[in-house]
Structure 1
Amino acid sequence: MQHSQPIPVITIDGPTASGKGTVAHRVALQLRFHYLDSGALYRLTALSALRHKVSLTDEHALSKLAEKLQCRFEGDQIWLSQENVTAAIRAEEVGNTASRIAVLPMLRHALVGLQHSFRTAPGLVADGRDMGTVIFPSASLKVFLTASVEARAGRRYKQLIDKGIPANMDDLLKDLRERDARDSSRAVAPLKPAEGAHILDTSELTADQAVDQVLKWYAAVRKQV
């Protein structure tokens, strides 16, 4: 009797600006898998909260906002209902707000079902902070990207300057350290490598090198099936 194989999932977790979004997106393109930027879901919730002037301490109201999100990913574009919010959700205020509300248990629970809905054939690459530990614990391959805070701040600085957004390196370093502390110490789904995850330090790697390594790990996993 044959059993259908579960839809494969590759999880790529890591701290802010570790390169996980770029790597996950490119891996998904190479494999022709679907892509989930889970951090974008928190940013979308944060953007909605800021626009609707919802208190960031009102866990119930924030959870309701999250449950009603109508979003989709099209390539590297992110849509909220009928609006392209790709640039809007990358604003520093939205990122900081997302980091603050991501510690709320009710909000995280409200987004679980939405995240699971992205797991469709032929496969999914999901990036975030708890993809391998909480959302997809039975993933085919789990990767945890890391990089020095200096390397990450440098990347974020370049991203902002390239977009014409003013940036200060000292402020970015302070912000990243604060986000790391919040993400790692929160009571629910703290940032940490999943059990069995491959650790990849991207401090000295190009995006292409990181993508190649993840694809090699996945090819090895497929051989074992």
Structure 2
Amino acid sequence: MIVTIDGPAGSGKSSAARQLARRLGFQFLDTGAMYRAVALAGQREDVDWDAPDQLAQIAQKSQIELSQDRILLDGQDVTQEIRTVEITQLTKYAADNTQVRKILVEAQRKFAEGQDVVAEGRDQATVVFPQAQCKIFLTADEKVRAQRRFLDLVSRGERVTLDSVLDNQRIRDQQDEERRIGGLRKADDSIEIHTNGMTPAQVVERLEALVRERMH
């Protein structure tokens, strides 16, 4: 069974999807982390960000592994490194690159072969797994999302302000919506859930109930 969870930045989808997968005994596919890992690989190789072919070559040769709650890049744990503000801003170059996207979508589909998976991202229901048995779109008001992101970054030791996080989020939202391939779209058959005022535990419980309904 494939469950997709899409939504904008700060909607809480990553933590909710991870917890949901754990509760269901499914594999967790963090597709955003894969794009972040490509951006990190590009930064490490001092890639020319205006040369899409270079980044695509790096994506092709990079070994990206998802293991439990960790992400490995060429065998090295980069789970924390890919979550910095700098890598967040560079990730658009990977996400906007049609060649990189093709490489990663193929890898995502291969990951899910023969497995029960909770796949989280922007285009999981619309592009990667349109045949998914359960499609969910998580969202929340932009200020709620920015506050969540701000608290997450502060907990990681980043020096940021709430205003700067909100500004960056608005830019990301616009980029996500305008992206020609793999942009943020709600699939017609997705169930939309607004997480304003919901605790993380309540979100996971709601998701689990939806999925279990479709398992019978």
The TM-score range, normalised by the shorter chain, is over 0.9
Aligned residues: 216
1:78 to 52, 64, 71: 71
Contact 2:20 2:207 in 1 (8 A): yes
Q: Does 1:97 align with 2:90?
A: yes
| Alpha-carbon distance between aligned partners in 1 of 2:23 and 2:31, rounded to the nearest angstrom | 20
Question: Aligned residue for 2:188?
Answer: 195
After superposition, where does 1:46-195 map in structure 2 within 5 Å? 46-195=39-188
| Alpha-carbon distance between aligned partners in 2 of 1:50 and 1:218, rounded to the nearest angstrom | 38
Q: Does 1:213 align with 2:206?
A: yes
Greater CA radius of gyration, 1 or 2?
1
Q: What's the TM-score once normalised by structure 2's chain length?
A: 0.96
- With 103-112 and 9-18 compared, the bigger mean Cα shift is at 103-112
| Alpha-carbon distance between aligned partners in 2 of 1:146 and 1:125, rounded to the nearest angstrom | 17
- Deviation of 1:23 after TM superposition, in Å, equals 0.6
Question: Aligned residue for 1:4?
Answer: none
| Alpha-carbon distance between aligned partners in 1 of 2:194 and 2:113, rounded to the nearest angstrom | 29
SS at match of 2:158: coil
Q: What are the superposed Cα offsets for residues 55-100 of structure 1, whole Å, 9 maximum, x if unpaired? A: 1121112112112221222221111122110111001111111124
Question: Aligned residue for 1:17?
Answer: 10
- With 50-59 and 36-45 compared, the bigger mean Cα shift is at 50-59
- RMSD (Å), alpha carbons: 1.2
| Alpha-carbon distance between aligned partners in 2 of 1:181 and 1:119, rounded to the nearest angstrom | 29
Q: What are the superposed Cα offsets for residues 117-158 of structure 1, whole Å, 9 maximum, x if unpaired? A: 211444001000000100000001000110111111111111
| Alpha-carbon distance between aligned partners in 2 of 1:27 and 1:111, rounded to the nearest angstrom | 23
Contact 1:34 1:118 in 2 (8 A): no
Q: In structure 2, give the amino acid aligned to 1:84.
A: D
**After the TM superposition, which segments of 4 or more aligned residues of structure 1 sit over 2 Å from their partners?**
none
Contact 1:151 1:203 in 2 (8 A): yes
SS at match of 1:10: strand
Structure 1: stretches of 5+ with no match in the other structure: 1-7
Q: What's the TM-score once normalised by structure 1's chain length?
A: 0.92
Q: In structure 1, give the amino acid aligned to 2:195.
A: T
